[in-house]
Amino acid sequence: MSKPVFTSKSATIHRMEYLEKEKILEIEFRSGNIYRYHDVPPRLWKVFQLYIEVEGSAGSFFNEYVKNQFNSEKVRDAGKGSSEDE
């Protein structure tokens, strides 16, 4: 398991964590919602981390390469009116 990556520059994503053995990418949004994305290749996780270091926009990378690309499940719902599109 990798250690969590906290994003300070993203208006949408607060924390990300990759479970390498399970190939699960867990993302906590600033709304408090947490989603798990399944069968995410380790290489994509590494590119995601590099992208954040260089560009700083976790939300842009997420929208382009993760959202709607992998099966996902909501593991924590922060309340009404919040969604993955925060």
1 pLDDT above the threshold of 60: no
Q: Which residues pair with 38 in a beta bridge?
A: 24
Mean local confidence (pLDDT), 71-82: 82
Q: Give dist(CA 53, CA 70) in Å, integer.
A: 23
Q: Give dist(CA 70, CA 86) in Å, integer.
A: 18
For the full predicted model, state whether its pTM sits above 0.75: yes
pLDDT in tens, 25-56: 999 999 999 999 999 999 999 999 998 888 77
Residue 57's pLDDT is 80
7 pLDDT above the threshold of 90: no
